[in-house]
Chain A
Amino acid sequence: MKSMMLACTFAAAAAGFARAEAVPGQDAPAFKSTCTKGTAVALADLKGKYVVLEWTNPGCPFVKKHYGPGNMQAVQKELTGQGVVWLTVNSAAPGKGGHVTAERWNAVAKEQGSAATGLLIDESGEIGRAYGAKTTPHLFVIGPDGKVLYAGAIDDKPSTDAADVAGAVNYVKQAVAEAKAGKPVSVPKTAPYGCGVKY
């Protein structure tokens, strides 16, 4: 049991990314990892699908803003319902606030009603650094061709106030909808807002 959990929590970013950042219009940094339920995940195997990467930290008030009232779960549900692969990533280092074990995170996600396809523990921070993930939340949308479509904030209302969710433009939903309609993504990059990733 313990060894399986360790396998789940081991995240290895694959070689081959020259940049230390995911940039809209460029190839998304490749990674291989194992989700908290033990399934292997490799970005290369997800070609042909839209992929959303969501950086998270359960203790962060900006994350709570979106999970408390069920906003993040609703977006996950809507997009995974359209065939989008949604991976939630936690890059908190061991000993840092928000670091979780696979078992604990699975329980939290169930309680929250997370509709993510998978949860990735990146305690070495390799995937986070490869993408330039800075905040929780920080979101990336990758197109079926493996190129980054969007990098940045969840929406246009930087705050910790859940009341701001209602009137906000959700950049992730917007990017996926525009790309699926064959249009260029109108807002491909924004400054993310949130707590710093606890590398």
Chain B
Amino acid sequence: MFKVPPGLALVLAASAAIPREARPAEAPIRASLVAAVTRFRPGEPFDGAIRLEAARGWHTYWTNPGEAGLATTVRWTLPEGFTAGPLRWPAPKRFVTGGIVSFGHDGATLLPVEIRPPADWPAGRAATLRARVDWLGCREECVPGGADVEIVLSAAEAAVASDEADAVARAVASVPRPDPRVRFHARAVEGGIAVRLEGAVAEAPAAFFPLAGGVLRAAPEPAWTRVGVGVHETVLALEAGVPAPSRMAGVLTFAGAETRRPAFLDFAVDGRTVPQDNPKGVRP
């Protein structure tokens, strides 16, 4: 058997490439697993993320998919001693198809996850993090999809940032969280929940995405009325025949969201004003 010089082998491989027209159509949704580090420090949590790339016109779904669709799910297979936190969903967008409103993500989306490695992971030993990601991708039609994704990291005395570190950090920074500037007042009214929001001075509130499905009507989008400086009111319409819940949680986006992080709200529907100053944890 004669030996092919490495350079020639490369040329041969390239010329044997599949003709363009024989390539399969690009998948509507592609998933990968990324991390903010290439090397982690044992015992020190770091950020990973599921990256979803939706082809033009396609989208996947938020944790509450809205009137139709299905949330993306992730199941982890991690090395012994590793744990993964819950998906930290960025604020979704509204997608309206034939009057049906759903909540989801288009383009490139990172769903951050905190990964906690064990304190006793030996230096130099590779750790392969694996996840099964399942999604529903839709434009007008819907196609379920899934992928087994993985990333190989290793341990070091100090964590080493990856090329993805900035993108992951931006994704983490965009996850909705309780906003101490916001005060929220909610009470049940006929067919809805009347809310007053204080603390949106420079940016008006835009959409409210409830964490739970089947409670609020997704359409029409609530219209906010400015009733004072930084004070806005609206009525969130309940689904027909659904009583007002005693508590609600969800994500509030602001007009000009680039300048203000979406707020995670968790409030009692009892007419009391609730400061959203719980600094603990980022939810959802």
Instruction: State the A residues within 8 Å of B (CB).
Output: 19, 21, 23-26, 59-62, 93, 96-97, 132, 134-135, 151-152, 158-160, 188-191, 193-199
Chain B residue at minimal CB-CB distance from A19: B240
Q: Are A23 and B240 in contact (CB under 8 A)?
A: yes
Q: Are A196 and B144 in contact (CB under 8 A)?
A: no
Contact of A189 among B138, B140, B141, B241 (CB under 8 A): B241
The 7 A-B pairs with the shortest beta carbon distances in the complex, nearest first, are: A191-B214, A196-B100, A196-B68, A199-B98, A23-B241, A160-B144, A191-B213
Taking the nearest CB of chain A, how far is it from the CB of B217, in angstroms? 10
Q: Are A158 and B70 in contact (CB under 8 A)?
A: yes
**In the bound complex, what is the Cα–Cα distance between A195 and B144 (angstroms)?**
11
Q: Are A93 and B98 in contact (CB under 8 A)?
A: yes
Instruction: State the B residues within 8 Å of A (CB).
Output: 65, 67-70, 97-100, 102, 136, 138, 140-144, 213-214, 239-242
Chain B residue at minimal CB-CB distance from A59: B141
Taking the nearest CB of chain A, how far is it from the CB of B147, in angstroms? 15
Given A19-B240, A151-B241, A196-B67, 13 other A-B contacts at CB below 8 A? Answer: A23-B240, A60-B142, A61-B136, A132-B240, A134-B100, A135-B100, A191-B214, A194-B68, A195-B69, A196-B68, A196-B98, A196-B100, A198-B97
Q: Are A196 and B102 in contact (CB under 8 A)?
A: yes
Residues of chain A contacted by B67 (CB below 8 angstroms): 134-135, 196
Q: Is the interface of B mostly helix, strand, loop or mixed?
A: loop
**In the bound complex, what is the Cα–Cα distance between A146 and B197 (angstroms)?**
42
Contact of A24 among B68, B140, B213, B241 (CB under 8 A): B241
Residues of chain B contacted by A196 (CB below 8 angstroms): 67-69, 97-98, 100, 102, 138
Q: Are A25 and B241 in contact (CB under 8 A)?
A: yes
**In the bound complex, what is the Cα–Cα distance between A48 and B142 (angstroms)?**
38
Residues of chain A contacted by B98 (CB below 8 angstroms): 93, 96, 196-199
**In the bound complex, what is the Cα–Cα distance between A51 and B68 (angstroms)?**
24
**In the bound complex, what is the Cα–Cα distance between A158 and B98 (angstroms)?**
22
Residues of chain A contacted by B70 (CB below 8 angstroms): 62, 158-160, 193
Query: Are A61 and B140 CB-contacts (below 8 A) given A134-B100, A191-B214, A196-B102?
Result: no
Q: Which of A59, A97, A134, A189 has the most CB of B within 10 A?
A: A134
Taking the nearest CB of chain B, how far is it from the CB of A2, in angstroms? 27
Chain B residue at minimal CB-CB distance from A97: B141
